[in-house]
Structure 1
Amino acid sequence: MKTPVRKKRAVPDGRRRFLKGCLGTVGAAVAGATVSERAAARETYQRPAEALGLLYDATLCIGCKACVAACKRANDNPPEFSTTDKLWDTPLDTSGYTFNIIKMYRSGTMATKDDEENGYAFMKTSCMHCADPSCVSACPVTAMTKDVTTGIVAYDPEACVGCRYCVVACPFGIPKYQYDSPTGKIGKCELCRHRYKDGHYSACAEVCPTGATLYGRTSDLLVEAKRRLALTPGSVTTYPRGNLSGGPQQSYEGKVGNYKQHVYGETEYGGTQVLKLSAVDFAKVGMPYLPPKSSASTSETIQHTLYGGLLMPFAVLGALTYVAKRNVHHEDDEAPPAEPPGREES
């Protein structure tokens, strides 16, 4: 016996007109909101006038890692071991307990420092303190904040809910979660802001013996970085050490490196407060290529467009309602079950 084929129920004209009207209204509203929001799209935030930061010059770095040890001491962070003997603090990357690390570029015979071919070079990795930080934009509870005066991207463990959105959002992979902590916290560089009240500044810059890491206002650091780029490689110049923007000046004379003619952080991602110089291509020493527009400005513009006036929630709710109604079958609309064939009487 053939199973009866069930006919598809036609949508009543009244309901069809209602659904088309809803979709048309939502579509027009979204289109109108998109036009208005596009005109008011959020621009990439700029660095505050008094923004504080660091200038790292890889040609001056000798890889001593005094900055790593000073950072651990200043932030009361425990050692991390990557060797079986566990005699020394040997972190391989930044983590919830290591906020600053020196990495090494190697090529071929490693005969000459700061040569891309058969050479080696160093690169400091820590929070870049972006002008328009994605971690701040992504944080749903304002555990990540950017100081309006200093521009320092700070973390508040009391506000943190452990969602780790900041970890995913950062293009530099800096915020790290302390997975072994019973309460769960994020660890990252905050430019030693807790030391300012005692007259100190970033520990990594305080202890650097060559001035490879220099502390100060980002505007002053940018001027110093461009001064170095304008010098002739191999010539002798004076390099400041410690705090460029305050306190007793420390300096020494040294030879100028063969810099790549670019200050990393001047425009990347809308600009950062940590600037870098290198004689080796930045991509080779682990610094990602980033456009001048921040992701935060793009994502927030999209969010405001879609959710302004609750248009997106209404559109989604309308779509879900339509799907739900479409799949609800009333008993009156059901076809009666077919009668089983009777047995013929003999």
Structure 2
Amino acid sequence: MPRTPLALPDFPWDSLVPFAERARSHPDGFVDLSVGSPVDPTPAVIASALAAATDAHSYPQTAGSPALREAIVDWYARRRGADDLSPANVLPTIGSKELVALLPALFGLGPGDVVVHPAIAYPTYAIGAALVGARAVASDDPAEWPVETKLVWLNSPGNPSGSVLGVEQLRAAVARARELGAIIVNDECYAELTWDQPEPAPSILDHRVIEGVRSGVLAVYSLSKQSNLAGYRAGFVAGCSELIGELLAVRKHIGLIPPAPVQEAMIAALGDDAHVQAQRELYRARRSRLLPALRAAGYRVDDSEAGLYLWATKGEDSWTTVAELADAGILVVPGSFYGEEPAKHVRVALTASDAAIADAVARLELLS
């Protein structure tokens, strides 16, 4: 019988290629504010730990080394308001995107099941549903979540909008997921990058949210953003020990194991808060230049309370904005990539060098 390929949408970034070429043709060069990939160096304390662990002749543990699991537990207690986790509640992953995409499969979802994700969202949540034939539903209102829902994705702080869910909103979402018998997961990888408050954004594992009951609740985290480890592929998931046990069992069969040197680098990253604070201040300084420049050029910036992006609009079709900025040599991402309907916003990344941000600000001034 003929093979039936997976029915997946076109990769959205392919449609941005002509605009990237347009931006690159600018006589003063190209400013890429489209990709949320770190441009600053990996902190020395982390790179040194990786280098010291390169004699990795033995298979690493899928569950993570005991030292790594303890480091994750300690970090949740110190930074995320969850001080009662044990090693059985945590599991390292190969970055966070693979877990986001694979979670419906790892939990055995399939046709007839529903995966809920935010209305404006990173597209991989829907891709994970498509991979198993489940139905993806975009909704921010727990009252609208279908009875067939088996998995709920939250994303706070959000990509692309930078919106943050408060404790009460997280608690209401958890309560509704439990009514439905669904697993609920918050993708929290921008939590340390808050701009209007001194503390990290609330975790779904915070005591104020779950009130001591972790059943059915998970949090996903990545060190790519706070520690400049995108190339290391360093992430983890934490929460309900029963669900963590299910994930570990399947991942052992598949062989999804973070490399041993990366596990050592993660221990160093999780134990050092100073580099996170320093990186946050670098992004804060870039944001403080780019935000007023966008406003002066006629853009309204919505949400953007946390994370590495500004969610900007002129009230026009997002592709019109992409084209206008490409003509100025600046590449941004249209809201259509994230399910915004109608798409009026663009996502503008802070992940560019100080020099590139200054260049972008100068070009925006010419558009004012």
Structure 1 or 2: more helix by fraction = 2
Q: Normalising by structure 2, what TM-score?
A: 0.24
Highest Rg: 1 or 2? 1
Q: Which has the higher contact order (CA 8 A, sep 6+)?
A: 2
